[in-house]
Amino acid sequence: MFRSASTILYVDDPTTSARFYHALLGVAPVRQSPGFVLFPLPGGANLGLWQRDAVTPPGRDGEITLTTDDPDTLHALWAERGYRIIQPPTDMGFGRNVLITDPDGHRLRAFRPSGQ
């Protein structure tokens, strides 16, 4: 069902945060665009830094992202299970995605990257 996972932190300034995490992790980002930076982590996970005022829909702290082949089918499954869906399947610049929260309000976004 899922191919990879990332933790995304919402940050005020991705460039400043990227310098910090580059020094902390000792690795260069694998993706960098205005408002977003992605670092590889040990074990195959990723750490993303997303400009807080560009997050859609708006959020406070961060989210876990899961790469999937079919966000629409996942949306149907999650709706059937009664999960709190805060963004139904939506096409965004990075791909098609669906966003839910866990019982404590933590965000989980499943997405199919653009071009896949």
DSSP string, the chain: -EEEEEEEEEES-HHHHHHHHHHHH----SEEETTEEEEE-GGG-EEEEEEGGG-SS--SSEEEEEEES-HHHHHHHHHHTT-EEEEEEEEETTEEEEEEE-TT--EEEEEEETT-
Q: Could you say which architecture CATH assigns to the domain 2-113? A: Roll (3.10)
- Give the tens place of pLDDT for each residue, 46-90: 999 999 999 999 988 999 999 999 999 999 999 999 999 999 999
Tokens 């791909």 belong to residue: 95
Instruction: Place 42 in a pLDDT band, splitting at 50, 70 and 90.
Output: confident
Give me the pLDDT at residue 15, please: 93
- What are the domain boundaries of the chain? 2-113
Look up the pTM and report it.
Answer: 0.79
Give me the pLDDT at residue 27, please: 94
